[in-house]
A and B are shown apart, each in its own frame.
Chain A
Amino acid sequence: MANRMIPRLLQAPAIALLLVWMIVPLSMTIFFSLIRYVLNSLNRPEWTTPSLSNWRGLGNYQYVLENDDFWIAIVNSLMIVCSILVLTVILGLGIAMLINRSFPGRGIVRVLLISPFFVMPAVNAVLWINMLLDPVLGLQGIAIGAMNSMVDGLRDFPVLGHFFSFWPQLEPISFRAAQTSAYAVIMMVTWQWTPFAVLIFMTSLQSEDESQKEAAILDGASAWSRFINLTVPHLARPITIVVMIQSIFHLSLYAEIEIVSRGNGNTNLPYLIGEFASNNIGAASATGIFAVILANIVAIFLLRMIGKSLMD
């Protein structure tokens, strides 16, 4: 304990690397956010080089705050992350309970269930939006087309056919539209991350105190009350882990948004930054700073929640 030199030296490379990784780009972003800086400008060519003489102060921040897209992006970011969290936790709990018993082929079921987690996000998005959800060529379009023609066929039946004439013609949903693309993103990310929740909950369920459960059964506790009073408290910590890790990954969701909602106005914060950055670096940087602030608020909140229990 007398010598603090060695532990410090051992940590130094990691801390130094992360410090540089954080500070250098961040300070550049702060600088760019305070000046006028665009990539192309015919009228004001001087704005295309980053320099202090193009100082704009907080003008970029004001520009971003007054931009409707910014608020849409914030609401969307939070909506997407929260929906994914709620869905993965509920589905994860249900599925983990379902496979937390032995049955034939349990090993294979586990292997099948875990697979989506390994799929590249870009492949995930391309696969879902084209082959599964496309309203014409994808399975969705084909399935709805098949159902419509089946109902059409049934209408020709005598007597019974009359009943089917009330059956409405189904319309396939286009998930590339602004109103629906967020749902497609939520669907595909939930598909990918539910296995993660299942695995963590399953690991935790296996360590549940069985004798406690049996005692509760003897006392006549219903299955529901056993679940609420014994299983859920036992799962509190794994649920926190699932929420924390997923928040880290989903706040910076990009590939899925880019592939699904490209150009339809339904963006999240990282994607909006990308859109600004195609020309207006100043505005992109200001939005970036807002995104950093949002991430930090979430981080502080989450780490308070988890930090203590992880150190025990």
Chain B
Amino acid sequence: MAAVTDRSKLGHLIWPALAWAVAIVFFFPIFWMVFTSFKTDADAVKPEHLLFFTPTLENYVNMAQNYDYWRFATNSVITSVFATLISLIVGIPAAYAMAFDPSAKTKDILVWMLSTKMLPAAAVLYPMTFLTKNFLGIYDTHFLVILVLCLINLPIVIWMLFTYFKEIPKEIIEAGKMDGVTTWGEIKDILIPLAWGGIASTALLTFIFCWNEAYWTVRLTTIDAATLSKLIEGNRAPEGLFFGRLSAVSTAAVAPIIVLGWFCQKQLVQGLTFGAVK
């Protein structure tokens, strides 16, 4: 080992420096967006004000007054929270049955579930709009957005929960059965406390996917249930004439989720590996 440490003396300086450089490059676009959001629209496109300018909150004030940011944000929170909760309520029992009482078909069912995620949304957009507008009358409602977010995330939720539940020794669950605990009791008193970490990671990741979803939420809403994705959609000015305004709206749309992500980093990493990487 001595040779390795000797030779890597220089490496002690170079590798961390390189790691920092890469991290800064990756973070730069986000920094630039936040930075630009404090410029006026006029300053944002002037090279002489690239780095030095008088910071202003004008864009944020403007956004709060004219774009009804809070309504979009509230809708994002409501739909993401409920979609996450409901997909967990549907997903936990299913994943429990698959992990502890698998049948010959369990693997095929799991694979089929994930394959529904690959269906191109655009292929079924028209039928969905047609049905929800003309027949069901649920177009542009929270109910519809929650339902759709739930459906598109359910395969991932079940798959992730399944990989977590599989890690729990079967004996623990079976011991519960011997003691005459009901299925509901097993889930509530044994499974959920044991798999709490995995369930939390799943919930977090689902929440992020819901928050960032921009295909269905934009196309199945107009005003009442419109989320932050819709706000961005309406504000992407052509050819960047309003960089300041655009940056402020974008920052306000992504900030909550980035901050949440920072706090829950550890949990997320676990969840993202789908339990398949240890």
Most buried by B among A10, A98, A191, A271: A10
Q: Known contacts A115-B30, A254-B121, A255-B214; is A123 also within 8 Å of B250 by CB?
A: yes
Residues of A within 8 A of B29 (CB): 116, 127-128, 131-132, 191
**Chain A residues packing against B (C-beta within 8 Å):** 1, 4, 6-8, 10-11, 13-15, 17-18, 21-22, 24-26, 28-29, 32, 95, 98-99, 101, 103-106, 108-123, 126-128, 130-132, 134, 137-139, 142, 145-146, 191, 194-196, 199-200, 202-204, 207, 214, 217, 237-238, 241, 245, 247-248, 251-252, 254-255, 259, 269-271, 273-274, 277, 281, 284-285, 287-289, 291-292, 295-296, 298-299, 303, 307, 309-311
Q: Would B47 and A273 count as touching, CB distance under 8 A?
A: no
Report 28 cross-chain contacts, Cβ distance below 8 Å, ordered by A residue: A4-B101, A6-B97, A7-B98, A10-B96, A13-B94, A14-B91, A15-B109, A25-B128, A105-B16, A110-B265, A113-B26, A115-B261, A122-B214, A126-B236, A194-B26, A199-B273, A200-B277, A203-B270, A214-B1, A241-B273, A251-B118, A255-B215, A287-B123, A295-B120, A299-B114, A307-B111, A310-B163, A310-B274
Q: Contacting A103 at CB < 8 Å: which of B15, B91, B96, B270?
A: B15
Residues of B within 8 A of A255 (CB): 214-215
Q: Contacting A271 at CB < 8 Å: which of B23, B33, B119, B122?
A: B122
Which B-chain residue is minimally distant from A138 (CB atoms)?
B240
Shortest distance in angstroms between B12's beta carbon and chain A's nearest beta carbon? Answer: 8
List 7 tightest A-B contacts by C-beta distance, closest first. A288-B123, A25-B124, A103-B16, A28-B127, A7-B97, A130-B240, A14-B94
Which A-chain residue is minimally distant from B107 (CB atoms)?
A311
Residues of B within 8 A of A241 (CB): 273-274, 276-277
Q: Known contacts A14-B154, A142-B47, A277-B126; is A112 also within 8 Å of B27 by CB?
A: yes
Q: Contacting B272 at CB < 8 Å: which of A123, A199, A217, A289?
A: A199
Shortest distance in angstroms between B175's beta carbon and chain A's nearest beta carbon? Answer: 16
Residues of B in contact, count (CB < 8 Å): 93
Cα(A247)–Cα(B20), bound, Å: 29
Shortest distance in angstroms between A181's beta carbon and chain B's nearest beta carbon? Answer: 14
Q: Would A116 and B94 count as touching, CB distance under 8 A?
A: no
User: B113 in the interface, Cβ–Cβ < 8 Å?
Assistant: yes
Cα(A284)–Cα(B254), bound, Å: 32
Shortest distance in angstroms between B29's beta carbon and chain A's nearest beta carbon? Answer: 6
Residues of B within 8 A of A15 (CB): 94, 109
With A207-B277, A288-B120 already in contact, 15 other A-B pairs whose C-beta atoms are closer than 8 Å: A1-B101, A6-B97, A21-B151, A28-B131, A29-B127, A120-B254, A126-B246, A131-B243, A131-B246, A132-B29, A134-B240, A137-B240, A254-B122, A255-B214, A303-B111
Which B-chain residue is minimally distant from A272 (CB atoms)?
B122
Cα(A11)–Cα(B265), bound, Å: 31
Q: Known contacts A6-B183, A121-B214; is A299 also within 8 Å of B118 by CB?
A: yes
Which secondary structure dominates chain B's binding surface? helix
Q: Would B233 and A109 count as touching, CB distance under 8 A?
A: no
Cα(A251)–Cα(B169), bound, Å: 37
A-contact 0/1 string along B1-27, CB 8 Å cutoff? 100100000001001101110111011
Residues of A within 8 A of B1 (CB): 214, 217
Cα(A17)–Cα(B15), bound, Å: 50
Q: Would B47 and A139 count as touching, CB distance under 8 A?
A: no
Residues of B within 8 A of A298 (CB): 118
Q: Would A24 and B131 count as touching, CB distance under 8 A?
A: yes
Cα(A13)–Cα(B163), bound, Å: 20
Cα(A245)–Cα(B276), bound, Å: 12
User: B66 in the interface, Cβ–Cβ < 8 Å?
Assistant: no
User: B79 in the interface, Cβ–Cβ < 8 Å?
Assistant: no
Shortest distance in angstroms between B114's beta carbon and chain A's nearest beta carbon? Answer: 7
Residues of A within 8 A of B268 (CB): 114, 199
Cα(A281)–Cα(B114), bound, Å: 27
Q: Would B117 and A248 count as touching, CB distance under 8 A?
A: yes
Q: Would A109 and B19 count as touching, CB distance under 8 A?
A: yes
